A and B are shown apart, each in its own frame.
Chain A
Amino acid sequence: MGSRQITEKSLVMLRSLPRLSLANIRDNPGSKKNTKRGRGQHGGDKHGAGNKGSGQRQNYMRLGYETGNNPFYLRMPHEPYYKGHHHRREYPPISLLEIQKLIDTDLIDITQPIDIASIVKSGLYNFFPDKKHFGINLTDEGVDSFAAKINIEVQWASEQVIAAIEKNGGVITTAYYDPHSLFLLKNPKKFFESGQAIPRRMIPPADVIEYYTSAETRGYLADPEKISQERFRLSQKYGYELPNIENDQCYTMLCERKDPRQIFHGLEPGWVVNLKDKCILKPKDDELLQFYAS
């Protein structure tokens, strides 16, 4: 029905209906409530409180009480011991002493940058990304006897560990890897055999991006100039002469870093590594190149 027809119909109705008066109008339902008088037949006598019991005597049972049986709100105990555990990241530890052992027994090559893949390859350390493990936590056991010049990349390191590594002329970086990248790094051969293109590494989540952007923790997203200042500050704090790394013959190796989006050294996101034919397939399409370089 059009609006013009509605108005026509309303006017017709209005002409035929009786005149509006107090007798043919009423309040909206629920707008007026009857006031209860505490006097007379209906409001008086027990005044709505019933007979005996807690109701009449204003001695009520507490909210939730179920007259003696175990109430609903007490049936399920509150034991929040693992609350939010699935949101927490874990960093399985490896000590500086173990790293020294790996170096001394030639299980790790210190002429190349060390990252989590090299440490897992040595066989003496393992981690499980599906169990919320986000990488290596380098602990300070063996900090006094550590004597190796290395370029190491871990996921978590304390100040003392950083000092021990820099005292020996090495470089330490803390870098974030998302779980998918960690699966790749843990077993690169398996990933290359799957024939997939190398993905980009994701940026750290909000609660930890500050850790990886600060020079104090040697974050991979921090400014190297600020890191140099922090190196000096740490040498003064822990009492060692800061070795001159610019004059070191391994300076280029020590300064070698992965790009924040790179997972493997020397391999870019987007490449497909063919182990069988011993070649690498690279994308040529502009859109793909743009995506993998973003």
Chain B
Amino acid sequence: MALMPFRTHVMRLVAQCGNYCTLQRSMAYKSAISLETLYPNSTLKLSTPSFTPNPNEKFSGFIPLNKLEIQYSASSGPGGQHVNKVHTKVDLRFKLSEADWIPAEIRDKMIELHSNKLTKEGYLVIRSDATRTQQLNLADCLQKLRNMIRDAAVTKREPSPETEEMIRQRHLKASRLRVAMKREEALKRAERRAPTVVDL
């Protein structure tokens, strides 16, 4: 071959694109900024992690999707042929009483809160057709479900004895002021009337 860069030496290699990747795998190119150098303690492998719930949290946000029944249908509203043909509305339902993935107290609270919204068979139904894509509508339904669960998980903190005492004192003070005002007004009205003469 004619002109070669003056410092490179020729190394004839039969390089066929098909076999190339397999040849190079064992001695693949690694630069100074390769992932091995950037993350030396990592396995650098893509995996499917299994979920481990946090023991401190009552509800971690994890929803097992195989326990939910999801149906798709056509959305309502304007849009012509597109809105008629594409099933972007998402209908998500599950039996609330049999949902063992929700902690028991939260489940009971939810049944209490949404008892009027459950169907005859006891299904909680969440629907969404807010966006133009099925993907986002499904995400919306799941968000709504998580919000419902988190609202049911909220427990009001009981006020401390000091706070209770403070509230009681406030009530008493208000009563005292009210009665004092009442007495003042009574006195004012009495002074405007003719004096009651008491014959001793």
Please give, as numbers and ranges, the residues of chain B lying within 8 Å of A261 by CB-CB distance. 29, 31-34
Interface flags, A219-241, vs B, CB<8A=1, else 0: 00101110111011000111111
**Does B118 interact with chain A (Cβ within 8 Å)?**
no
- B42 contacts which of A223, A274, A277, A280 (Cβ < 8 Å)? A223
Beta-carbon contact of B62 and A236 below 8 Å: yes
Interface of B, helix, strand, loop or mixed by DSSP? loop
The number of A-B residue pairs with CB atoms under 8 Å apart is 143
- A239 contacts which of B32, B51, B70 (Cβ < 8 Å)? B70
Beta-carbon contact of B20 and A171 below 8 Å: no
CA distance A269 to B32 in the complex (A): 12
Beta-carbon contact of A285 and B48 below 8 Å: no
Please give, as numbers and ranges, the residues of chain B lying within 8 Å of A279 by CB-CB distance. 12-15
Least Cβ–Cβ distance between A204 and chain B, in angstroms: 11
**Does B136 interact with chain A (Cβ within 8 Å)?**
yes
Least Cβ–Cβ distance between A234 and chain B, in angstroms: 10
Beta-carbon contact of A277 and B135 below 8 Å: no
Interface of A, helix, strand, loop or mixed by DSSP? loop
Task: List CB contacts (< 8 Å) of A88-142 with chain B.
Answer: 140
- B46 contacts which of A163, A171, A288 (Cβ < 8 Å)? A171
Beta-carbon contact of B8 and A259 below 8 Å: no
Least Cβ–Cβ distance between A192 and chain B, in angstroms: 12
Once A223-B42, A268-B29 are accepted as A-B contacts, the answer to whether A288 and B7 lie under 8 Å apart by CB is yes
Beta-carbon contact of B48 and A266 below 8 Å: no
Q: List 9 A-B contacts (CB under 8 A).
A: A229-B49, A241-B66, A245-B46, A246-B48, A254-B46, A261-B32, A269-B31, A274-B1, A283-B8
